[in-house]
Amino acid sequence: MTSTQTAPQTAGAVTPAAGDDIIVQVSGLCKFFGSRRAVDNVSFTIRQGECVGFLGPNGAGKTTTINMLLGLVEKSGGTMRIMHLDIPAQQQEAKCFIGVVPQTDSLDPDLTVEENLLTYASYFNITGRKARAKSAELLEFFALANRRQEIIEHLSGGQRRRLLLARALINEPKLLILDEPTVGLDPQARHLIWERLEILQQQGTTMLLTSHYLDEVEHLSSRVLILDHGKIVAQGVPQQLITELVGIDVFVIEGTTAELDALEKSFKQCEATTERVNDKLYAYTQEDCSRLESLLKKSRSWLRRPANLEDLFIQLTGRSLRES
């Protein structure tokens, strides 16, 4: 397991001021639903300016963890702090610093685009000219300025998501929580959202992201936490984790059982781990195994690609379906 410490730390700095750039600190967090351990002793820290990706199969405990941070689920044990405020005791204060893009669309269908932002701003006690200026700025930033007076029903999926993002930023949050921010969008709409999120990152916005699109997480996150069965099974910088736990390259080879058996042996001689799924052989190589490519000429089909987060994800959490 890799831990990354990007923030510079002075030697022997153990005074409370040492953790000044800590935005979220969770330790020993648990949530039990009856006998089911939905979140089981989870600890992590998010520092100023980081984008932490939360990964895990359905029911791994990602959303439950986020909901505990937001006070929507009561914790069974452990401690949580956001901006040094104790959660849930100082929940209301902490929420002033948080922006949330929820998984489900919770835009107000009774209100127009602009009214959605102004009403949401009022919940943060941002009113009048200040609210209108902020709302105009955000609509501009998310390319929604020309839909200001539109009713929500008339917006496309991508526009709704952008409006949800704009809404989450209305209070200039120190921490932006994104729960599946591009689910169900076409590639154009996704890329537009990524682009905006990257700009926000450059401005130093701290983010906590969950997504099932692993390319999205790879693209946006500076660090990932992989959860399974309520526990953190790995954490670190995506590329480092992939190289360490999966390898450099992945070979995917189709062929008869006999062919694949022989190939598997060859790959084992090169530094590689192998996996058989149906009539496919997966080989994850820890060193350059391109010399084996000549052996593959006879195979029905094969390919070699760099290992990615999806390989890591499958390796850590298995191939079986999780349906809860």
Partner 1 sequence: MKHLRFWTLWRRNSRVWRKHVMATLIGNLGQPLLFLLAMGYGIGHEMQTIDGLTYLQFLAPGLVTSSVMYSAAFETTYGSYTRLSMQKTYEAILMTPLGITDIALGEIFWGASKGLLSAIIMLAMLPLFGVWPSIWTLALLPVLFMSGVFFAAFGLIMTALASSYEFFNYFISLILTPLFLFSGIFFPLKTIVPSARIFFELLPLTPIVTLSRMLCYGQFHEPWLLKIAGSLLLTLFTCWLSVIFLRKRLIQ
- Can you tell me which of 4, 41, 119, 266 binds partner 1, judged by CB under 8 A? 119
Based on the shown chain and the rule CB under 8 A, indicate whether residue 184 belongs to the binding site for partner 1.
Answer: no
Nearest residue to 214 (alpha-carbon basis) of 290, 324, 312, 315: 312
List 123, 156, 256, 276, residue binding partner 1 (CB under 8 A): 123
Q: Which is nearer to partner 1, 70 or 242 (CB)?
A: 70
Is there binding between residue 198 and partner 1 (CB under 8 A)? no
Query: Binding pattern to partner 1, positions 161-180, x when CB under 8 A?
Result: ------xx--x---------
DSSP 4: -
Q: How many residues bind partner 1 (CB under 8 A)?
A: 34
In single-letter form, the type of residue at position 310 comes to: E
In angstroms, the CA 201 to CA 194 distance is 10
Residue 5 CB: number of other CB atoms within 10 A? 8
- Subset of 47-66 contacting partner 1 (CB under 8 A): none
Does the footprint of partner 1 cover residue 9 (CB under 8 A)? no
Work out which of 7, 22, 48, 105 binds partner 1, going by CB under 8 A: 105
Binding of residue 69 to partner 1 (CB under 8 A): no
Task: Work out which of 41, 67, 273, 308 binds partner 1, going by CB under 8 A.
Answer: 67
Q: Give Cβ neighbours of residue 178 (< 8 Å, ≥ 6 apart).
A: 101, 168, 197, 207, 208, 209, 210, 211
Three-state secondary structure readout of 144-157: CHHHCCCEHHHCCH
What does the block give as tokens for 50? 């980081």
Q: Provide, rounded to whole angstroms, the least separation between the CB of residue 260 and partner 1.
A: 47
Residue 303, CA distances (Å) to 16, 244, 273 in order: 52, 21, 16
Q: Please report whether residue 290 would count as binding partner 1 according to CB under 8 A.
A: no
Site for partner 1, rule CB under 8 A: 33, 67, 70-74, 91-93, 95-96, 98-100, 102, 104-111, 115, 119-120, 122-125, 167-168, 171
